[in-house]
Structure 1
Amino acid sequence: MSVFFNKFRIGFIFFICAVGLVYVYVKFAKLAFYPQKKTITAPVTIERGSITDRNGKPLAVQTNFYHFVVTPKLIKYPDEFAERICSPLNMGIQEITQKIQNAKNANFIYIKKKISQEQYDELIKIIDENNYYNFTRFDKIPGRLYPENSLASQLIGYMGDDGTGLSGIEYSKQNILSPEPNPDATGTIHGSNVYLTIDSGLQYKLEKIAKQSMEETQAESLMLIAADAKNGEILSYISLPSANLNEYTSASTQEMTDRASVTAYEPGSVFKIFSVASFLDSKSITADDSFLCDGIYQRKTTAGETIRITCLDHHGWLNARSALKYSCNDALAQMSEKITTEEFLSYIRRFGFGERTGVELPSETRGSVKNQNDRYWSARSKPTMSIGQEISVSALQMVQAATVLANKGVQIKLTFIKKIADIDGKTEYEHEPTYGNRVLKSSTADYLLSCMETTAKSGTGTRASLRDISIGVKTGTAQMADTVNGGYSNTDFLSNCMAIFPIENPQIVLYIVIEKAKGETYAGRIVAPVIAKAADEIIDHLGINREGAASLEHSGRITIKENLPLSIGKVVPDFTGRPKRDLIPLLARDDLNFVIKGEGWVADQNPEPGTPITENMTIELDLE
């Protein structure tokens, strides 16, 4: 052993161990003190697509917001800090100071959430100038800007802080606007842009009419839908009250509710057009059959049950046309006796009632259509349903059912999506009309349109008449359910009106519902005039030819005179026809307040031209 462990061998072993230790220490030092190269995978960012109107006008666009975060325990001078940042945050000094002091030992608190890019830029400048980097930071979050505020707000919907749509198109088209990335994806993924069918210019005009109507009737809510009768594209979609999408979190439940899609209600007499269509198409009655209205429909069943349905008048002998003209409950109930229950319910379902329309909106209601096996079915159900009670519908269902009358008996599927395009404008989807099965004979649909035209000319819908263009209407006033005591309310009414025009070549289906108006509730008086105003706007906006419209030959050469600069003296001038660029200099005046709404040229103003000027007067200008 002593021969084996000689000095040379032992020294060599120690040398090898020493070299190994030195190698280990060097490696450790490199790992500890030198920066290491790391392979970093670039994070995937998703650029959410825009929502626009049919013409490409932005209604919802991608932006960024920031949460402003501070570490309170590191702030030495809270008052000074609060004073410097209060202005860009639009907050009070005391409010900021109190937030910091209330959490002085916390690691972080939010001073303000969802600040804009402009606020962020101002704060970064302040932080840089005062070296506040050690206790401030910003959390960048995806955001959404809604340029038109409350315009078509329930349709467009709202996006939450996590980048997920919470309602409307923002929700239903989430995967198109913001697609999920593949596991191996890198860089920026762009969502597609969704072009809605609505025309924002027309939407603005009709919302203005609708809001005025709500104010005049002191109604609780209003729905209005205008659809293209040829292809099912919805041109305007209104549910009031509505929410400002840029302040959505502070909106009320009433403002968030999309009534036209999610609310089911009894339509009342407007439903009679579909009932009469069913009776005629099934040959249960003919157009010449007469029914005597003595003011009340009364029948005793074999089971001893007495059915009583009152009418507003004693109309005498009526056929189908005059029954619709005067909206006679008695005649409709008598007609319902001529059709079997199974066939009547079959027609109602073929019109689309009891089923969702399938539009691109979440939480659409089916409404309710009873059948004979329903526990609430009774001998009075069929005659009552024929006049629009004991059945619940949505406004969308009513419009889609009306497309049957406008299209020779064939239903057209409604839609809100005009097209979908990628970031480069390449079309990925474009709407083509989708036709359903035939519901009525062409002759039946044409006859119902002529009946609706009669109602507009000399019946309950005369206030909807346009004089210079043919229109067919049907009005209805329905008692609403008493949710407290049961039965029907004696004070709450739903007033609605369906319109189709022009009759000879239907292009537009227009439908309005006003709920719980104060004072006058009769549909012929409060909703028919609104239909006339809205139809006029639609006709002019879309350029539908009016009868008797003046025409002349023109060389095609147009001379445009340059507008003289606006001058305001002692009275309000006439701003009508002035372009927006002429109005910009007026905003610099400090003695008058100007409110400019819309784009284009001045179409309306308040106060009227010639009104004496007063100090600090507010002048409102509506542009179209």
Structure 2
Amino acid sequence: MAASIKHELAGRLGLVYLIVMVIAAFIVVKALHVQIWEGDKWRKMGRSVSFKDFEVAPNRGNIYADDGRILASSVPYYSLRLDCKAIPDTLFRKKVDSLSMMLSRFFKDAPTVEYRKKLWQGKYGAKPNRYLLVNKKKISYTDLLEVKKFPIFRERGTKSGLILERENVRLQPHRDLAYRTIGYLNEAKDGSFEGRVGIEGAFEKQLRGEPGRSIRQMMSGRWVSVTVDDPVDGNDVVTTINVECQDIVQGALTRQLEHYKASAGTAILMDVKTGDIKAIANVSKTATGYREVLNNAIGDAAEPGSVIKAATMVALLEDGYVHPEDTVDLGKGIYTHNGVTLKEARSPIGKVTVQGIFERSLNGITELVYEHYRQQPEKFVNRWYAMGLNKKVGIELAGEADPYIKYPGDKTWSGTTLRWMSFGYELKITPLQVLAFYNALANDGKRMKPRIVKEIRNGSRVVERFEPEVVSSHICSRQTVAYMKQMMEGVVENGSAKNLKNAACKIAGKTGTAKVAAGSKGYNSEPKYRASFVGYFPADKPMYSCIVVVDNPSRSVGYYGNVVSGSVFKEIADKIYTMASLMGDNNEDEEEKDETLPISQNGLKSDFLEIYDELGINVTEDEAERADWVMTSRDKEGTEFVLKARSVDMTLVPNVKGMGLRDALYLLENSGLKVGVSGVGTVSQQSLTPGGRVRRGSYVHIELR
């Protein structure tokens, strides 16, 4: 009996032992399988649970005006979230009411009771919310400092429960100034933002930078971020746009559009010598008022009307077919060719000089073109091509429209095409392309490529510099340029733009009033007009060229180019010339170099008087008796110096052009600016525009020559 029981127990123990051994063997085999054959799979899964990879966005580069002021910048904004579980119960119950009240006062979008309900639900709901969005509104860094003083939020460490999500928001501090030209950001497929239009789009690669990589690791129940690869911030773009000029141009254009109830308008201001675009405004009528929508300056190729007559006249002069003083009998001002009749706005005309035809913007110019080119139309068109009218200007911004200049033999060329082209129809060209041509005439025939970006910078280091680029050293002969300048001055003095004679400086240019075709209805339906004025100022020493185009002004108010667009041009010229005079940029006080007197700088009056007395040079103070700082120039005879008062306001960026280094440093450093210097001689350039409000600690670079 006992033996059988013992035998039975031994059997059971053996069975249990066998089962245990089988299970152990299975565990070992499974462990080996997991470790060896499925190891990579499970290790990867483990890492995904304890680690998360995130892209770290770089700071986008800034866009600057020509004087260093910011046109577009990325500013950090924050979303407020709350880890409700991290806040101790005692603290939460004690402070939730006061926190709710502060949030209600700060965001002003819900009463205190709503915020308390939201926070309470997040803390004591079915499951504590560890990622509660406090408010959809993103707040600035300044606001964040205030929010961090709120109850609970001001607690140190994790007890505050505060989770901040930073997002860079692109802002333009000058609001709507050059908004379309500067551009904006669009959302990409991956959820990031990228520039697609304007400077933001054209220089997206330079501005965006390179993203970094961050790992968020689960530690003690919380995700902790660890940066693995630092992001590379984007470079800055320095433009040619001048904030003051842009404000003047855009303001003048917008007010005129409102007055004439026009549908859209464009105005561009360009530096004659460099081709730098100092201002570009594109304003359209919208449901909410006038604002920038499309960059019509570079994208709207349309029939320009009479402003193209300058190119027509250049061709006639270059080929020797006319002289400004030649007399032409235009009779009654009615011209019929190939079954098409063209009439002057006012007739009869009778005998008139070639210069008079241009000054008065008479369509009789088509008679000259027809007479000399009807047997050789390709010669006329080739002249235009040689001046670059059939080519894009090549500006860096995307969206420049192709100019459309017909050529003999094209399918659409007809018996009337030559005449219609000569005064601005049956062709298409953008406002910027027109301006580039007129700028070349103002620049003694030298055609410059329009430039809107000067530099790409990384901090203080120049990554890439874009120098002024000469497209053509002469679009026509010097004699033709001289004749054209004479004629364009005559437009204002004696012709179609006499209303601009009383400007602050002498203006030269050309008017244009073009009928706009209404699709398939052509020009015979209720007419719409495009009013233009393009030219330069001052006429005797060109500094700036400018074009103003106004689309569809109300006919009941007025639609002629000399009044609608010319008035805007005059306001721009008046204000910018005055501003340049105050800043000493027009060089009117600088006489031709005279060997009878030494070269003199601008600076401290007491120093000049001491030196002049020592040298025995006569001085006229010219209302500068009480001034400490003066500008110097020679009198007309070149026998003595004239001192003119130079006002100095230490709250504004001083104008140090023409000063020696010592006086320039004194003024700039006493204004609270940090100064960098290059070159020797007198100050010829300064990076901050004179007259702007001083921001103490800002950097200004002066160049001496």
TM-score grouping bracket, smaller chain normalisation: 0.7 to 0.9
1:222 aligns with 2:234: no
Question: Partners in 2 of 1:557 and 1:375 — Cα distance?
Answer: 71
1:267 to 282, 304, 308: 304
1:63 aligns with 2:37: no
Aligned residues of 1:178 and 1:192 also touching (Cα < 8 A): yes
Q: Give 3-state SS (helix, strand or coil) of 1:256's partner.
A: coil
1:239 aligns with 2:282: yes
When structure 1 is superposed on structure 2, of 110-119 and 200-209 the one drifting more is 110-119
Aligned residues of 1:69 and 1:112 also touching (Cα < 8 A): no
- Aligned residue identity for 1:541: M
2:322 to 277, 280, 285: 285
Give the 5 Å matches for 1:153-168.
153-160=179-186, 162-168=192-198
1:473 aligns with 2:503: no
Report the Cα offset of residue 386 of structure 1. 0.8
Report the Cα offset of residue 413 of structure 1. 0.6
Report the Cα offset of residue 225 of structure 1. 1.1
Aligned residues of 1:294 and 1:314 also touching (Cα < 8 A): yes
Residue 567 of structure 1 is matched in structure 2 by none
Report the Cα offset of residue 388 of structure 1. 1.1
Question: Partners in 2 of 1:381 and 1:110 — Cα distance?
Answer: 68
Question: Partners in 1 of 2:507 and 2:280 — Cα distance?
Answer: 20
When structure 1 is superposed on structure 2, of 445-454 and 429-438 the one drifting more is 429-438
Give the 5 Å matches for 1:224-623.
224-241=267-284, 255-301=292-338, 305-339=339-373, 340-426=376-462, 428-436=464-472, 438-466=474-502, 469-483=505-519, 485-487=521-523, 490-518=526-554, 519-542=557-580, 543-545=584-586, 556-557=604-605, 600=693
Alpha-carbon deviations, 1:439-490, whole Å to 9, x = none?
2112112211110011111111122235664431111111222248443554
Aligned residues of 2:245 and 2:279 also touching (Cα < 8 A): yes
Question: Partners in 1 of 2:465 and 2:288 — Cα distance?
Answer: 33
Alpha-carbon deviations, 1:7-51, whole Å to 9, x = none?
9xx99x98xx89x97xx89x99xx9xx999999989554121111
2:141 to 100, 117, 120: 117
- Aligned residue identity for 2:565: V
Question: Partners in 1 of 2:257 and 2:289 — Cα distance?
Answer: 17
When structure 1 is superposed on structure 2, of 306-315 and 57-66 the one drifting more is 306-315
Question: Partners in 2 of 1:36 and 1:211 — Cα distance?
Answer: 57
Question: Partners in 1 of 2:185 and 2:484 — Cα distance?
Answer: 43
Give the 5 Å matches for 1:30-45.
44-45=56-57
Q: Which has the higher contact order (CA 8 A, sep 6+)?
A: 1
Compare CA radii of gyration and give the structure with the larger one.
Answer: 2
Aligned residues of 2:503 and 2:574 also touching (Cα < 8 A): no
TM-score (norm. length: structure 2)? 0.65
Change (3 A) 1:130 1:502: closer
- Aligned residue identity for 1:166: R
Aligned residues of 1:579 and 1:600 also touching (Cα < 8 A): no
Question: Partners in 2 of 1:545 and 1:600 — Cα distance?
Answer: 22
Change (3 A) 1:473 1:67: same
Question: Partners in 1 of 2:112 and 2:389 — Cα distance?
Answer: 58
Question: Partners in 2 of 1:276 and 1:235 — Cα distance?
Answer: 28
Change (3 A) 1:422 1:493: same
Report the Cα offset of residue 289 of structure 1. 3.8
- Aligned residue identity for 2:194: T
1:177 aligns with 2:177: no
Aligned residues of 1:288 and 1:319 also touching (Cα < 8 A): yes
Aligned residues of 2:74 and 2:171 also touching (Cα < 8 A): yes
Residue 143 of structure 1 is matched in structure 2 by 169
Change (3 A) 1:522 1:295: farther
Aligned residues of 2:307 and 2:424 also touching (Cα < 8 A): yes
**Residues matched between the structures, number:** 541
Question: Partners in 1 of 2:295 and 2:81 — Cα distance?
Answer: 36
Aligned residues of 2:104 and 2:112 also touching (Cα < 8 A): no
Aligned residues of 2:281 and 2:292 also touching (Cα < 8 A): no
Aligned residues of 1:468 and 1:547 also touching (Cα < 8 A): no
- Aligned residue identity for 1:62: S
Report the Cα offset of residue 280 of structure 1. 1.4
Q: Give 3-state SS (helix, strand or coil) of 2:531's partner.
A: strand
Aligned residues of 1:192 and 1:422 also touching (Cα < 8 A): yes
Alpha-carbon deviations, 1:242-294, whole Å to 9, x = none?
99xxxxxx988963211212122222111111111112112343434433223
Give unpaired runs (5+ residues) of structure 2.
1-13, 36-42, 85-92, 119-124, 215-227, 592-599, 607-625, 629-647, 653-690, 695-705
Report the Cα offset of residue 328 of structure 1. 0.5
Question: Partners in 2 of 1:310 and 1:214 — Cα distance?
Answer: 27
Q: Give 3-state SS (helix, strand or coil) of 1:143's partner.
A: strand
Question: Partners in 1 of 2:236 and 2:416 — Cα distance?
Answer: 51
Question: Partners in 2 of 1:308 and 1:189 — Cα distance?
Answer: 64
State the percentage of identical aligned residues: 21
Change (3 A) 1:476 1:79: farther
Change (3 A) 1:555 1:156: closer
Q: Give 3-state SS (helix, strand or coil) of 1:451's partner.
A: helix
Question: Partners in 2 of 1:109 and 1:373 — Cα distance?
Answer: 69
Report the Cα offset of residue 228 of structure 1. 0.9
Question: Partners in 1 of 2:99 and 2:383 — Cα distance?
Answer: 71
Question: Partners in 1 of 2:414 and 2:366 — Cα distance?
Answer: 18
Give unpaired runs (5+ residues) of structure 1.
1-6, 244-249, 562-576, 582-597, 602-624
